[in-house]
Amino acid sequence: MKTEHAQGQQVPQPKTAAEVPGPAVGNTMTREYVQMVGRMAYVWGWPMVNMGNRSTAFSKLPEPGLIGGILPAAFNGATMLTDYVNPDQRAVACPNQDVAYGFGVSQLDMEPIVFQVPDFGDRFWVYALYDQRTDEFSQIGKAYGTKPGFYLIVAPGWQGEAPAGIAAVLHSPTQMVLTVPRVFLDDTAEDREAIQPLINQINFYPLSKYTGKMQPKDWKKVPVFPAPSSSGGGETKWVVPELFFEQLPAVLKNVPPLPGEEALYQWIGSVLDAAAKDPVIAQTLKETAIAAEQELMKSFLQWRHNGRDAGNGWNSAVNNAKWGTDYLNRAATAKSNILENTPEETKYFYRDFDRQGEQLNGKNLYSITFPKGQLPPVKGFWSLTLYNEEHFFHKNPLNRYSLGTKNKTLKYNADGSLTLYACATSPGAEKESNWLPAPEGTFSLYIRAYWAEKAVLDGTWMPPQVEKVK
C-alpha cells in the first residue's frame, strides 16, 4: 500500500495485519527452538486447556448433580450447593467457606443459556461467568444492583432475538462458559434454613426450556455421579502434560485471539503443524510440557510467585479474572486458585510466611490482629481462610476452615481489636472461638474482601502482619 505526496512522491504506509507474513510453512525447527515456543505456549495455554478439559468432563453428565456426592456440576446448566463446600472436594483449589456455591459448564455453540435471579434482599450474592480464558465477562450481583428476573448468555457473534421476559443478554467472548454463582451464608443453623428458598430459585438451563416463569429446583434432591480419578491431595489433574499439545489445537480453534494475539496464534500454530508431521517435534513438545509443569507451573503454588507485594508480607492478585494478555498472572492463578472474582467483586490477599519470613507451620502458634476499626473495609463480607500446602482445607474436628463476617461467636479484645489464631493444637478455651485449626506441617493464609471499599482496592488498607507467638 502506498500514498502519494502532493509532489507525487510515493511513501510506504504501514501494512495491515493480513499483509504481514507469518511463519513460513515447512520451516526447519531445531529442538531448542521447539522447546522455547513450547514452554511459552504451555504457560499461555494452560488455563484454557484446563477449562476445556473441565467442559469435556462435565459434558458426560446426563443432568445437574453432585460428582462424588460433593462437587456441584452440570453441563449446559448449573448445580447449587445448599451449604458450604465439602472439605473433601479436590476439583477447585482455594474454595471459600463463606458462600453456597453453584457450578456448571455450558457450550454456547449448542444453545444459549438462560439463568434466573431471585430477589436476594440484603444478602450478598454474585454470579461469576467465565470464558475459556478464565476472564469474568459478567457484572451480575448485588454490587451491580442486578434486578430479579431472567438473563440470557449467548455465544460470540450471536444474532438471535431474545424472547420476551429476558432482562438482559450477556455475550460470552468464547463458546465455552463456566458459571459460578456465590451466595453469602452465615455460619448458623438459622441462616442455613433461610437461604434454601433463595438457592432453589437459582437455575441455569438451555433457552429451549425457557417458559417465562421461574423454574425452581430442590437442590437437596439431585443425583450423585462418580468422582473422577485423582491421586494425592492436590487439585484434580485437569491438565495432563503428556496430552497438552494434543489438546492445544482445539484452544486455537475455539478461542478467538484477542487484539494483537494473531501473530502469537500463528507462531504457536506453526510449531503444532510441524509436530503433526514430525514425530520428533511432537515428542520434543511432550517432553517440554512435562518439564514446564514441574519447572514453571508447580512454583505457582507458592504465593510469593502469585500477584505482587500488597504490604505487611501479603501478596495480592493482579488483574484477577480480567487478565487480557497478562499471561503470567493468568497462569499463576489458574494453577493455584482458579476462578477468582474481579477485584471490584473480591480482593484477595495471601501468604505462606510469618513476619520473620519463615514458612507457616502448624507446630507453631500464630496471631493475626486487626486493630480496632481496621477490619477489612467492605460492603459485602470478609474472611480469613487457612489452606494446607496443596491449597485445600485441612479437615479438623471443628469443621472450621475460615473466620470472618459469617462467624457470630468471635471474641474481641478489650481495646476493640480482633485477634485470630492459627496452629495445629487448640490455643486454649478462651481463644478457641477465634482459632483456625492448621495441619501439623506447612499451611498458608488467605484473606477475601468481598465488595471491597476503595481503601482495599487502592492499597490504603493493608492486612495485618502474621506473628509467631513465643
Query: Cell numbers of 220, please?
Result: 437437596
Spatial separation of the C-alpha atoms in residues 196 and 305, rounded to whole Å: 39
Spatial separation of the C-alpha atoms in residues 182 and 262, rounded to whole Å: 35
Of 207, 222, 237, at which residue does a domain stop?
Answer: 222
Query: Does one domain contain both 316 and 424?
Result: yes
- C-beta of residue 111 within 8 angstroms of C-beta of residue 194: no
Spatial separation of the C-alpha atoms in residues 222 and 171, rounded to whole Å: 29
Three-class secondary structure of residue 292 per DSSP: helix
Query: Does one domain contain both 71 and 213?
Result: yes
Q: Is residue 286 part of a domain?
A: no
In order of 21, 40, 57, 291, 457, the CA distances from 271 in angstroms are 16, 12, 28, 18, 41
User: What are the tens digits of pLDDT across the range 130-184?
Assistant: 999 999 999 999 999 999 999 999 999 999 999 999 999 999 999 999 999 999 9
**What integer pLDDT is reported at residue 63 of this predicted model?**
96
Query: Does one domain contain both 204 and 309?
Result: no
**What integer pLDDT is reported at residue 205 of this predicted model?**
98
Query: Does one domain contain both 307 and 168?
Result: no
Spatial separation of the C-alpha atoms in residues 334 and 317, rounded to whole Å: 12
Q: Is residue 275 part of a domain?
A: no
Q: Is residue 159 packed enough to be buried (19+ CB in 10 Å), middle (13-18) or exposed (0-12)?
A: exposed
User: What are the tens digits of pLDDT across the range 180-203?
Assistant: 999 999 999 999 999 999 999 999
Structural domain count of the chain: 2
Q: Is residue 192 part of a domain?
A: yes
Q: Is residue 433 part of a domain?
A: yes
Of 192, 222, 252, at which residue does a domain stop?
Answer: 222
Query: Does one domain contain both 326 and 214?
Result: no
Query: Does one domain contain both 92 and 217?
Result: yes
Q: Is residue 20 part of a domain?
A: no
Query: Does one domain contain both 334 and 447?
Result: yes
Query: Does one domain contain both 307 and 445?
Result: yes
- Report the amino acid identity of residue 229: S
**What integer pLDDT is reported at residue 17 of this predicted model?**
61
Q: How confident is the model at residue 227 (pLDDT cuts 50, 70, 90)?
A: confident
Three-class secondary structure of residue 208 per DSSP: helix
- What is the domain-level CATH number for residue 194? 2.60.40.1610
What is the per-residue DSSP string for 145-184?
A: TPPSEEEEEE-TT----PPTTEEEEEE-SSSEEEEEEEEE
pTM confidence score:
0.94
Of 198, 222, 246, at which residue does a domain stop?
Answer: 222
Partnered with residue 385 across adjacent β-strands are 402, 446
Q: Is residue 269 part of a domain?
A: no
- What is the domain-level CATH number for residue 317? 2.60.120.600
The separation between CA 209 and the C-alpha centre of its own chain, rounded to angstroms, equals: 29
Look up cell 459448564; give the residue: 105
Query: Does one domain contain both 446 and 336?
Result: yes
Tell me the torsion sign for CA atoms 470, 382, 128, 211: positive
Q: Is residue 444 part of a domain?
A: yes
Which residue segment(s) compose the domain that 357 sits in?
Answer: 303-468
Query: Does one domain contain both 309 and 453?
Result: yes
Helix ranges restricted to H, 80-216: 189-199
Does the structure show a pLDDT above 90 at 9? no
Tell me the torsion sign for CA atoms 433, 443, 382, 194: negative
Other Cβ atoms closer than 10 A to 351: 21
Q: Is residue 208 part of a domain?
A: yes
